Amino acid sequence: MTDAPALSIVIPSHNRSARLLRTLDAIGRQQDVPLQTVEVVVVADGCVDDTVAAVRACDAPFALRTVELPGLGPSPARNRGAEAARAPLLLFLDDDVEPVPGWLAAHVQAHERMAGGFVLGAYPPFPEGQGEFRVHLRRWWRTHFSQLEEPGHRFTFRDLLTGNLSASRDLWHSLGGLDESLPRAHEDWELGVRIIAGNVPLSYAPDAFAWHHEYETADLQGMLRRATEEGRSDVRMGAKHPAIKEQLPIWRARRRGGWKYRLARRMFRSPDTEPLRRRAAGLAAGFGGWSSGPLFVRAFGFAQFVHYMHGAIEELRTLEQWKAFATRAPRTPRNSLLIDLAEGIEQAEQRLDHVRPEEARLVLRGSQVGLLPFEAGAEPWAGRHLRPRLTGRVAQPFLKALDENGLLQGTQMQERLQVPASARRHVGETGYHAAAAEAVQQWRKAGL
């Protein structure tokens, strides 16, 4: 193909040819975007299976190329893939992520809506496989994507995942791609830190949907190995970006003074932690074998922490180094704002958009409404965050403040509404039981 493509899809892969072919097949079934304008770059990183041959033999309706690497890890693989890509729009997809119809068009449309930013697509686990470990992973993924989907979500560096991500090639290269000193874990978060710090727009496109076949590629041992890599990466990331240190488990463990602190201190002092890691992994695997619910979650969390600290210790080496790493960073917002909502919602939004404060206090005349809090590594507050916050997290105090100031009108000016105290208590609740309890109270109060 001689024409320059409009869209390049970069797929790093490591010895998963069967799964990769299914992903390629799913790309071939995309509609609404002409596939002859699409190129796919498969980065075969350290593949000893038939990946390269299988991709060459693949009869795809799009241009398909391979880049071979000797096993450098996912972040160098994505960088080399992005360098080889020729289209102005880059799309990163993992080899175990299978798009559904409409996925490609949704990415393209999201960039038409918001130029010059990163678009995160959804890729929750495909429901396959049983057991506590699978449920635990699904919980993590689902929580992650449902948070992104909340109206007015405030993005943080941890929202950035590279399994289903798109951006313009210029933006990607101007940011310098992924940091290859974090080859195997949290290179996505590190990019997220730079995106947030650079005020680069981020958006989430739930309709850019793909199924993550993690049941084929993630097992308990693999996740614990990954935890070790995360520990290693977090130390490097914290050194590079001290401002977000406090968001890292390695920092928080140092500060809490709880069991994590005591355990980590012991691990620093006794260099051979292999038996401890093995026992922790065995415990988690044991609880994973039956419906142990929260017991598994705790055992797995313990094993993850032990492995994470092992990776961090390999980087930090000594307890003194850890203490030096985890000294408290000055935790004050650069700019803070006081907003009186009585001046009007539009005005408040404009001020937020103008100032982009790291923290804002909301009041309504004399009444407190709530705080838009400071959080390291999160994007500064903007106008689009305000209304969802007022109707969500702070709906209860906001209703109270409107009530107190006589600002809760009906459809006519002279109508004064009052929120019954019994209803106000239930504002912001979720779930069936809260709803049922409120209905029972309503009937009791009416005395019918």
Binding site for other proteins (CB under 8 A): 100, 124-125, 127-128, 130, 134-135, 138-139, 142-143, 146, 151, 206-207, 209, 211, 290-291, 293, 345, 387-388, 390-391, 395, 398-399, 410-412, 414-420, 423-432, 434-436, 438-440, 442-443, 445-448
Distance from C-alpha of 80 to C-alpha of 172, rounded to nearest angstrom? 12
Within 10 angstroms of residue 291's Cβ, the number of other Cβ atoms is 12
| Min dist. Cβ of residue 391 to other proteins (A) | 5
| Min dist. Cβ of residue 249 to other proteins (A) | 21
Name which of 98, 123, 138 is nearest 205 in CA terms: 123
| Min dist. Cβ of residue 129 to other proteins (A) | 8
Distance from C-alpha of 424 to C-alpha of 394, rounded to nearest angstrom? 12
Structure tokens at 308: 């994470």
Cβ proximity to other proteins, 78 vs 136, nearer residue: 136
Name which of 61, 59, 77 is nearest 69 in CA terms: 77
Cβ proximity to other proteins, 57 vs 448, nearer residue: 448
* Chain centroid, CA 335 distance in Å: 25
| Min dist. Cβ of residue 369 to other proteins (A) | 12
- The helix (H) or strand (E) run that includes residue 40 is strand 38-45
CA 48 vs CA 17, 41, 84: distances in Å: 10, 18, 22
Cβ proximity to other proteins, 349 vs 375, nearer residue: 349
| Min dist. Cβ of residue 422 to other proteins (A) | 9
Burial 355-390 (b: 16+ CB within 10 A, else e): bbbbbbbbebeebebbebebebbbbbbbbebbeebb
Using only C-alpha atoms, the chain has a radius of gyration, in whole angstroms, of 25
| Min dist. Cβ of residue 437 to other proteins (A) | 9
The sign one gets for the Cα dihedral 422, 424, 429, 432 is positive
| Min dist. Cβ of residue 262 to other proteins (A) | 31
Cβ proximity to other proteins, 47 vs 369, nearer residue: 369
Cβ proximity to other proteins, 236 vs 387, nearer residue: 387
Distance from C-alpha of 403 to C-alpha of 113, rounded to nearest angstrom? 38
Cβ proximity to other proteins, 275 vs 431, nearer residue: 431
